[in-house]
Amino acid sequence: MLKNTRLTTILTLSGLFLFFVFLASSLLSVIYLNRSAESLKNLNHEVSATLGVADTTNWIRAARTTLLAAVPYADGSNPEAFNAALAQARFYYDGGLRFMQAYQAAPKMAGEAELSRELAARYNDYTQQGVGALFTALQKRDVPAFLMLAGTKVVALDEAYRVPLDKVIAIHKQSAVNITQQADTDTHIAYVAAGVSVILFILASVIVAVGLKKLLIKPPRR
């Protein structure tokens, strides 16, 4: 009777021990895997934000290049090609504006709010006083004015815009690096917790097996 009671107690305690070991390690693994998944989600957001704000200048530069391609037709030699180039340039120009609007509407990181305002101001100068003026000159077929703007003022405005743009991109790149490191750490902890769970389970199983063997198998009496 005493032997059965001891056996029941040991089995109960062993079962509870195994249960809590699995519960703790499983919860830990789930928590850190979820954190890792959230970090990867945030990483995708940072990558999208970086690409989006970088595209503000890519699209405007594409508009400038397309406008330059329309210059040979400004003399009226090929109205269809001229109008097509203007339309394509306008498409790129509007695309850049949409990317800037999307960036300005997105939540800002610490230290980014002031930069975003500077970025918007420089972008407005770049698009309105620079590329917008190129559209006006070309629509008036004023090629000398277009070329002068394209080679001086627009270049200067582009370079001025790059200053806050590079700073904003740097902030998001650093954030992406930090998120990646955190995701790696969380994943490592989750795997370690899962490994510890397996090791403890095996260890507990061995201890229980040895204990049961001692209880159930008595040495022969001499």
Tell me the pLDDT tens digit for each residue of 49-100: 666 777 888 899 999 999 999 999 999 899 999 999 999 999 999 999 988 8
pLDDT value at 190 more than 90: no
CA 144 and chain centroid, separation: 44
Taking residue 123's Cβ as centre, other Cβ atoms within 10 Å add up to 26
The average pLDDT across 23-50 equals 68
CATH number of the CATH domain containing 35:
1.20.120.30
Split into its structural domains, the chain has a count of 1
Q: Is residue 125 situated within a structural domain? A: yes
Q: Is residue 202 situated within a structural domain? A: yes
- Give buried/exposed letters for 155-164 (b at 16+ CB in 10 A, else e): eebbebbeeb
- 2 burial type by CB count under 10 A (0-12 exposed, 13-18 middle, 19+ buried): exposed
Tell me the pLDDT tens digit for each residue of 166-180: 888 888 788 777 877
Q: Is residue 111 situated within a structural domain? A: yes
For the entire predicted model, the pTM comes to 0.69
pLDDT of residue 40: 65
Residue of higher predicted confidence among 32 and 116 = 116
Q: What is the dihedral of CA 86, 89, 93, 99, to 10 degrees?
A: 140
3-12, 50-59, 96-105: which has the highest mean pLDDT? Answer: 96-105
- 143 burial type by CB count under 10 A (0-12 exposed, 13-18 middle, 19+ buried): middle
Q: Is residue 221 situated within a structural domain? A: no
In whole angstroms, give the CA distance from residue 155 to residue 97.
18
Q: Is residue 80 situated within a structural domain? A: yes
pLDDT of residue 90: 96
In whole angstroms, give the CA distance from residue 101 to residue 98.
5
pLDDT of residue 146: 94
**Mean of all residue pLDDT scores within the chain:** 81
Q: Is residue 6 situated within a structural domain? A: yes
Residue of higher predicted confidence among 14 and 114 = 114
Structural domain span for residue 188: 2-216
pLDDT of residue 216: 63
Q: Is residue 222 situated within a structural domain? A: no
The average pLDDT across 180-202 equals 77
Residues 6+ apart with CB under 8 A from 139: 86
Q: Of 87-101, 103-117, 120-134, 208-222, where does mean pLDDT reach its minimum?
A: 208-222
